[in-house]
Structure 1
């Protein structure tokens, strides 16, 4: 039997973008999918949009609503609590899946038995460019190519992106997303999955697209990102070696647009996290801030 995959989508006042996200789920080549949408007290026509999809696709949609905004993580967790799939994955309301994403991730998950499966992802600002990428179809051989993501590698950086596929029972066993985190909740969840269940796996193909429209407020462009980083380090310090901790200090320097002294830079050189070290040096000497 083909196992059911639950897709959770938190949303708030973005009905047009939500349609685009839902359409990318309905375009999946994988046949057994349920879609759970948690509406964060939207005041636009989100409820009507979801009701229309539910009418046209009976039994496929579950609509949940928070009467007051409770945050994206609470919205995700409500969906996870109501889901009935074997596997679960997520989609933000402004992002998109490649049509072969879920089929590929289920396949590599079943073949490798990892803690979770993910794909390469791309930030975008031009929807037309992404539509061209989404039109490309990968061969079975291409989709079968995957690399391991070990816990030590993940502790240097979030190599999985903002969405993965794993077993629903695992998400529930770990208590879902940490609703106390102001940001980095996704990264925190992936670390907990890898810590509990072992090495993850990532397909080499580009199957997920993250909307980076700078005209809209995003956590990655806000002060909550730095606060989330600090909590993340405190929460997972026991898992990190000295080089990983130095790497995360450099990440914080970059996020906060700080220019540490040369002595501090020398003390925090990270061999495994050389990219963050280079970003600190570029900002220090040339004023180039790379997020």
Structure 2
């Protein structure tokens, strides 16, 4: 295939008042080895120099970077959905403004998608607090055989935990068919989206290679560190409980205990042990006896 016959990949990026981090995110998309990419950035009413930064990127990369703006903040999922509405790619994936991609991420996921025809393709990911901690992983280039190694993720496995992370690659038409991200959920919108994709279109596939880096700077306000996470988890359970078996429901009940900082009686923990979701039971025990709340 030539560059012009390769499928276009749309990348949505919501952003607000993080211009320095946004540069890092956008540069990681522009450095991708996959040649046909469009980037759609929705600026959520930034009051810093984000508009000027985005205007510069649009000038330097005409036709490749599209800038949208909300005059008042609508939330990250609304921003993602607005980008999805404007996208024109065959495939779509996303990036939060404080995270970044390995240069081979999109190439790997497109090839896995074309080879396996899953509901979506994703990769292993790594949380980081300093870019220096992951610099060697970011800069290491992988061979074709290594990138082709992947594992199947079926709905049963995904109902225990979000094994896909916060971004996947799928067909743009599928995202639109499902109505995009559920803006009524205060958190866990990504996990909810992956469950809906797997329920509708079948198993997913996950690259064994580490290709995505998620900023875990605890000094900034993040849904991952807020009470919205517990509320989002509760809504997720209510929405998808019909798909869960008894063990999966016990697993999510344990997750709720930890998120809500609850320490139930040991007898309740024993009755609520989840075999398939044993990690949630271990986390609950650590929280109960040592006050350690692992996210």
TM-score bracket relative to the smaller structure: over 0.9
Structure 2 residue aligned with 1:43: 47
The 5-angstrom pairing of residues 91-106 of structure 1 reads 91-106=95-110
Structure 2 residue aligned with 1:143: 147
Output the CA distance in 2 between the equivalents of 1:95 and 1:189: 19
Structure 2 residue aligned with 1:76: 80
Shift of 1:123: 0.4
Structure 2 residue aligned with 1:186: 190
Q: In the TM superposition, what whole-angstrom CA distance separates every residue of 1:87-134 from its partner, at most 9, and x where no partner exists?
A: 000000000000000000000000000000000000000111222211
The 5-angstrom pairing of residues 120-131 of structure 1 reads 120-131=124-135
List, as ranges, runs of 4+ consecutive aligned residues in structure 1 with deviation greater than 4 Å. Answer: none
Unaligned runs of 5+ in 1: none
Structure 1 residue aligned with 2:9: 5
Which secondary structure does the structure 2 equivalent of 1:176 belong to? coil
Which secondary structure does the structure 1 equivalent of 2:276 belong to? coil
Q: In the TM superposition, what whole-angstrom CA distance separates every residue of 1:55-91 from its partner, at most 9, and x where no partner exists?
A: 1111001110000000000000000000000000000
Candidates 160, 166, 171, aligned match of 2:164:
160
Structure 1 residue aligned with 2:174: 170
Output the CA distance in 2 between the equivalents of 1:286 and 1:254: 12
Output the CA distance in 2 between the equivalents of 1:286 and 1:228: 25
Structure 2 residue aligned with 1:200: 204
Output the CA distance in 1 between the equivalents of 2:195 and 2:174: 13
Q: In the TM superposition, what whole-angstrom CA distance separates every residue of 1:209-230 from its partner, at most 9, and x where no partner exists?
A: 0000011011011000000000
Q: In the TM superposition, what whole-angstrom CA distance separates every residue of 1:159-200 from its partner, at most 9, and x where no partner exists?
A: 000000000000000000000000000000000000000000
Structure 1 residue aligned with 2:120: 116
Which secondary structure does the structure 1 equivalent of 2:69 belong to? strand
Shift of 1:264: 1.2
Output the CA distance in 1 between the equivalents of 2:134 and 2:169: 22
Shift of 1:262: 1.4
Shift of 1:263: 1.9
Structure 2 residue aligned with 1:132: 136
Moved more, 248-257 or 136-145: 248-257
The 5-angstrom pairing of residues 232-271 of structure 1 reads 232-271=236-275
Which secondary structure does the structure 2 equivalent of 1:188 belong to? helix
Which secondary structure does the structure 2 equivalent of 1:129 belong to? helix
Root-mean-square deviation over aligned CA pairs: 0.7
Candidates 209, 214, 222, aligned match of 1:210:
214
Candidates 5, 22, 27, aligned match of 2:26:
22
Shift of 1:17: 0.5
Which secondary structure does the structure 2 equivalent of 1:163 belong to? coil
Output the CA distance in 1 between the equivalents of 2:244 and 2:201: 17
